[in-house]
């Protein structure tokens, strides 16, 4: 609307001007280079306007002729780019739908039309992967990794190719290079952390965890828990050669995660072996109050090396008072009482849990009590039979794998902190009850006469009775029980709870 108004005003002004000039006639005389020109002012103005229009037309024509090749080139380039983008779009769709032929065709078109476009290289690599040509895909990713604009994309492609071929070391190097170039890449940090854990590179995993925390890629609580698990893994490795370092690492892990049983157990065991019994008991008791575990009860009982079974029983009874799980506390007290041959105290501890279906550990302990106190083979056999059919006791489980000891990684998936203390899934009985009963008869006799108990308990544990996950607790050197000989018990105690050193 404004432009129309301005145009009308301009036309009106020109009309008024021409009328004004026409009403005032005059002559214009020009002499130049021997020529004499005389005309009216109006004619001279019209001639000047016509000459100006001709000059503008000639200038536009020259400019058009000069710039036309560049315009044509730009038009061709735009058309080529448009066709290349269409090829990229159709190629990515073909890759997503798994159409090998279309993906290869459009990848070739895109490479011809847009050779410098990063997506062209990506489409070519994906088309090669779809066709199973790993060599070509790797070459394309290597070229992309050598170009600054596509370095991260190339490194990720190389990492994925290495993982597909189970080349974990190469995958770790690609992930580490990507993290060094760009620490905020979550895939690089997470992949490097996972690979470092799988090869037990605990120190490297801790450094990667620090990077993840600085980049806010992990929650604080999760990072704290992972750090505690990694420190515990380091403590396990250091315990054989450097007790002081193992103690320091375990205490640090215990401080970060007071409910982490292995950290407290290692710290308590090492400090007890070094003569620091008071602090060892304090560390173990702190974890016991949060997460009671049989290993903690054993470690607490042996915080003072050299004590007899009665002294250990008193200590465990004190610990059991602070258990948030009454059953776990009762089992710990009963186990210590059996080792001390305090049969009445062992019975009293287990009495509340003997009705209905007591767990396998309770049944096994009752078999030991009957065998040690009364020597009644029938009662021993009855309790062992109930142990076979009892609900499974808690055990260290990770991804369906059950282990006697805790480990920082799952042996199935390699996941960190996968082991949990819980009851495994109930197994279906195999129906061979006669064989189990015959084995139980032999074990019942040997609970009363424990001279040859080790061999047959191992036999039944390797056979059908293993499905019930019977828990045979460790024993005092003076009371091997049905789990081993005196020499084996002494060797196990000396290994885990050595005497204090200077």
Note the pLDDT tens digit of each residue in 328-384. 999 999 999 999 999 999 999 999 988 878 999 999 999 999 998 888 888 999 999
Percent of the chain predicted with pLDDT > 90: 39
Mean pLDDT calculated for residue range 286-296? 93
Instruction: Give the orientation angle of helix 186-198 with respect to helix 202-214, to 10 degrees.
Output: 160
As to burial, measured by CB atoms within 10 angstroms (0-12 exposed, 13-18 middle, 19+ buried), residue 259 is: middle
- Provide the pLDDT confidence category of residue 492 given band limits of 50, 70 and 90: low
- pLDDT over 50 at 289, yes or no: yes
d(CA 67, CA 261): 81
Which H or E run includes 398? strand 395-398
Task: Please write the tens of the pLDDT for every residue from 146-167.
Answer: 888 888 889 999 999 999 888 9
- Provide the pLDDT confidence category of residue 494 given band limits of 50, 70 and 90: low
As given in the structure block, the two tokens for residue 407 are 């480990």
- pLDDT over 70 at 192, yes or no: yes
Instruction: Give the orientation angle of helix 41-97 with respect to helix 2-22, to 10 degrees.
Output: 160
As given in the structure block, the two tokens for residue 177 are 């290079």
Mean pLDDT calculated for residue range 32-38? 76
Q: How many other C-beta atoms are found inside a 10 Å radius of the C-beta of residue 421?
A: 15
Percent of the chain predicted with pLDDT > 70: 83
- 22 or 338, greater pLDDT: 338
Task: Please write the tens of the pLDDT for every residue from 65-107.
Answer: 777 777 777 787 788 888 888 888 888 888 888 888 888 888 8
Residues 6+ apart with CB under 8 A from 369: 334, 338, 343, 346, 347, 350
Task: Please write the tens of the pLDDT for every residue from 401-432.
Answer: 999 899 999 999 889 999 999 887 654 334 34
For the beta sheet containing 395-398, the strands, ordered from the edge strand earlier in sequence to the opposite edge, are 401-403, 395-398, 420-422
Pairing state between β 27-32 and 395-398: unpaired
């Amino acid at each position: 609307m404004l432009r129309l108004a301005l145009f009308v005003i301009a036309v009106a002004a020109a009309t008024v001007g021409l009328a004004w000039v026409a009403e005032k006639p005059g002559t214009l005389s020009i002499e130049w280079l021997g020529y004499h020109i005389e005309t009216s002012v109006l004619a001279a103005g019209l001639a000047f306007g016509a000459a100006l229009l001709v000059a503008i037309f000639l200038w536009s024509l020259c400019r058009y002729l000069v710039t036309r090749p560049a315009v044509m080139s730009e038009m061709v380039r735009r058309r080529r780019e448009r066709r290349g983008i269409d090829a990229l779009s159709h190629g990515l769709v073909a890759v997503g739908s798994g159409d090998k032929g279309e993906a290869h065709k459009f990848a070739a078109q895109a490479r011809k039309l847009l050779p410098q476009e990063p997506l062209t290289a990506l489409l070519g690599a994906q088309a090669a992967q779809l066709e199973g040509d790993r060599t070509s895909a790797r070459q394309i990713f290597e070229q992309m990794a050598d170009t600054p604009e596509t370095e991260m994309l190339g490194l990720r492609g190389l990492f994925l190719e290495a993982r597909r071929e189970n080349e974990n070391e190469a995958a770790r190097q690609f992930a580490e290079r990507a993290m060094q170039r760009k620490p905020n890449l979550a895939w690089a940090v997470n992949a490097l952390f996972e690979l470092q854990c799988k090869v037990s590179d605990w120190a490297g995993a801790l450094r990667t965890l620090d990077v993840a925390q600085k980049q806010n890629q992990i929650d604080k609580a999760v990072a704290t828990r992972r750090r505690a698990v990694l420190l515990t893994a380091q403590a396990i490795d250091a315990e054989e050669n450097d007790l002081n370092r193992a103690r320091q690492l375990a205490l640090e892990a215990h401080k970060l995660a007071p409910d982490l049983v292995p950290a407290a157990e290692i710290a308590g065991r090492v400090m007890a072996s070094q003569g620091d019994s008071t602090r060892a008991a304090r560390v173990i008791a702190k974890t016991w109050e949060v997460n009671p575990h049989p290993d903690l009860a054993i470690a607490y009982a042996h915080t003072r090396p050299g004590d007899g079974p009665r002294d250990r029983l008193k200590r465990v009874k004190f610990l059991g008072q602070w258990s948030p799980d009454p059953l776990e506390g009762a089992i710990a007290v009963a186990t210590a009482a059996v080792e001390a041959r305090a049969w009445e105290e062992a019975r009293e501890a287990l009495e509340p849990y003997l009705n209905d279906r007591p767990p396998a550990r309770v049944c096994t302990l009752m078999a030991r009590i009957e065998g040690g106190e009364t020597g009644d083979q029938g009662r021993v056999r009855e309790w062992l039979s109930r142990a076979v059919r009892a609900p499974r006791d808690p055990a260290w489980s990770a991804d369906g794998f059950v282990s006697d000891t805790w480990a920082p990684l799952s042996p199935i998936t390699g996941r960190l902190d996968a082991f949990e203390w819980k009851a495994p899934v109930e197994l279906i009985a195999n129906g061979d009850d006669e064989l189990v009963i015959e084995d139980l008869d032999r074990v019942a006799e040997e609970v009363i006469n424990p001279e040859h108990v080790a061999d047959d308990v191992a036999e039944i544990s390797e056979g059908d009775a293993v499905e019930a996950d019977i828990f045979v607790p460790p024993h005092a050197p003076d009371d091997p029980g049905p789990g081993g000989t005196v020499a084996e018990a002494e060797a196990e105690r000396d290994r885990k709870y050595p005497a204090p050193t200077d």
